[in-house]
Structure 1
Amino acid sequence: MSEKRVALVTGGTRGIGKAIAERLLGEGWDVAVCGRSAPEASIAGPDGREAVFFAADIRSAEVADDLVAQVKARFGRLDLLVNNAGGSPKADLADSSPRLIEKVIALNLMAPLYLARAAQAAMRDQAEGGHIVNIASISGQRPSPGTAAYGAAKAGLLSATGSLAMEWGPLVRVNAIVVGLVEAVEGQDEHYGGPEGIARLSATVPMGRMARGGDVASMVAWLASPDAAYVTGANIPLHGGGERPAVLQ
């Protein structure tokens, strides 16, 4: 087995993706991150090792193919793909332009599929195979008013996770993390209505708080470890026990 482990984390320059990249660096992985623009500061692990940044708009199949090829050329292999990049502005579907709907679905569903396809081609020739982890959302399992296209895309990603695990096993494992409410990052507290909104929502979660980037990073690290060698096709909830229904509040 190769001692070198290489990971690609999309959207790895901020938020959850940054936490994932930093965790993997701390565990000895070589890490590539991508985004449409370079981060203001390098992404580094606790020992000072830094992730390598690649500029890429992954909504294009050609760009996704090229990105994976660049990572493999730089590091010689690819062992882990974390499809983390995603998101959506809040807008009712009736008020959304077709272009916005297409962009949301392209980022949250098409890009992960394009990258998974390219990563599998790189991993299948390795004796150890590889792992793909899709960062999904609870929005793909319950109504997502205000972000309907995002919820639909995440639902598609969850469906694809099981399908690809069946298509690509046993060499390539594919799993998804179904993330619930997550603490706002980079000054985006207003997304939840400011501090009061954050406190109100946190109180509905059995664990008493929203998820943090480190919580997601820990799950990624476990899924990519030998301890999870038999885990594939799983959609793993990471929501602190879920959101309390309004009727029970």
Structure 2
Amino acid sequence: MDNSTARPVDNSSRDRTVVVTGGTRGVGAGIAQAFAGTGARVLSCARRPPERPLDGVEFAPLDLRDPPAVRAFFAALPRLDVLVNNAGGTPYRLLAEADAERHARVVELNLITPLTASLAAYEHLRRSRGSVVMVGSVSGTRPSPGSAAYGAAKAGLANLAASMAVEWAPEVRVNTLVVGMVRTELSHLHYGGPDGVASVSRTVPLGRLAVPADVGAAAVFLASDAAAYISGASLHVHGGGERPAFLDATTANREK
């Protein structure tokens, strides 16, 4: 891929290979299917296969917390054009309710494994003049009570991506998707069912939670030729963000 000139979005990507970590469900599945829709060869790697096969997506078993296995996986690929570091997540856990080792495992999954995969993929990406897309979170840009280790890891991920973009330029572009609330098959665990989802949706300026396809479309854009001059950037995919709490607390503009 020639990164020197901007071109329209390339919807004919049959010669490209894309790896999506954690691409078996939720946001990861949405990203994998979005790339499959461009005609690319898409590999989804995770510890367990998807509950149902994803159209146009190949599954490869891989524990991303096993560096030798990660290096062997990428070394076996004939080529690689795009790496999407999506694997991650965390349960709700207040800091004082767990020991440091549990929080460290959250940081490992959300920060160290993307670094491990990126390093293992580097030579492929350098040869193809490819790109890395990190899947970050709004939790890394604001206080995250109940997921503090996760938020800290995602903040670190954005910084890692920005530094990587400088070190690996001009051969490899690196960008971050800063993702807000997404409606997935596990949304009820976070928001409390349909009523909870509806209530939370009303806090988003665009009036709804994202769906995985929204994140997938943004990832495809950042990896496309249309984004050839975008590197080291953070693209917010959060429906407009969050309404500042003080606006609801103030009495200055309320009707009397």
Deviates more, 1:109-118 or 1:91-100: 91-100
Indicate the residue corresponding to 1:21 in structure 2: 32
Where 2:236 maps in the other structure, the secondary structure is strand
Of 79-88 and 53-62, deviating more is: 53-62
Runs of 4+ in structure 1 off by over 6 angstroms are none
Counterparts of 1:1-249 in structure 2 under 5 Å? 4-44=15-55, 50-70=56-76, 72=77, 76-124=78-126, 126=127, 128-183=128-183, 185-249=184-248
Equivalent pair of 2:14/2:39 in contact (CA under 8 Å): no
Amino acid at match of 2:102: L
Paired amino acid for 1:20: I
Of 98-107 and 10-19, more deviation after overlay is shown by: 98-107
Q: Which amino acid aligns with 1:153?
A: A
1:139, 1:117 → 2: CA distance? 25
Match of 2:5 in 1: none
Alpha carbons 1:176, 1:236 under 8 Å: kept: yes
State the distance in 1 between where 2:165 and 2:189 align: 38
87 and 54 in structure 1: CA distance in 2 versus 1, 3 angstrom threshold: same
Do the aligned partners of 1:123 and 1:129 also contact (CA within 8 Å) in 2? yes
Measured after TM superposition, the shift of residue 26 of structure 1 is 1.2
Which amino acid in 2 is paired with 1:101? H
Q: TM-score, normalised by structure 1?
A: 0.91
Partner of 1:27, secondary structure, is: coil
Match in the other structure for 2:253: none
Larger Rg: 2
Amino acid at match of 1:111: T
- The runs of 5 or more residues in structure 2 that have no matched partner are 2-12, 249-256
Alpha-carbon distance between aligned partners in 1 of 2:21 and 2:14, rounded to the nearest angstrom: 23
Task: Measure the CA separation in 1 of the matches of 2:14 and 2:143.
Answer: 44
**Greater RCO (Cα-Cα under 8 Å, separation 6 or more):** 2
Q: Which secondary structure state, in structure 1, belongs to the residue aligned with residue 181 of structure 2?
A: coil
Q: Tell me the alpha carbon deviations over residues 36-92 of structure 1, each in whole angstroms, 9 at most, x when there is no partner.
A: 111232111xxxxx322111110222222122123x1xxx20000000011000011
Would the aligned equivalents of 1:136 and 1:176 in 2 still touch at CA under 8 Å?
A: yes
**Does structure 1 retain, via aligned residues, the 8 Å contact 2:14–2:38?**
no
Change (3 A) 1:114 1:187: closer
AA aligned to 1:35 is A
- Give, in angstroms, the shift of residue 97 of structure 1: 2.2
CA distance, structure 2, for counterparts of residue 23 and residue 187 of structure 1: 20
8 A Cα contact 1:64 1:111, kept in partner? no
Q: How many residues align?
A: 237
- Residues 113-134 of structure 1 deviation map (CA, whole Å, 9 limit, x = unaligned): 011111112222x2x4110000
Distance across 1 between alignment mates of 2:119 and 2:152: 20
Q: Percent identity?
A: 48
Change (3 A) 1:193 1:40: closer
Given that residues 14 and 40 in structure 2 are in contact (C-alpha distance below 8 angstroms), is that contact kept between their aligned partners in structure 1?
no
The answer to whether the Cα contact below 8 Å between 1:19 and 1:213 also exists between their aligned partners in 2 is: yes
TM-aligned CA deviation for residue 194 of structure 1: 2.2
2: CA distance, partners of 1:193 / 1:143: 22
Shift of 1:15: 0.5
Q: For structure 1, which runs of at least 5 residues remain unmatched after alignment?
A: 45-49
Q: Secondary structure at the match of 2:121?
A: helix
Contact 1:12 1:20 survives alignment (8 Å): yes
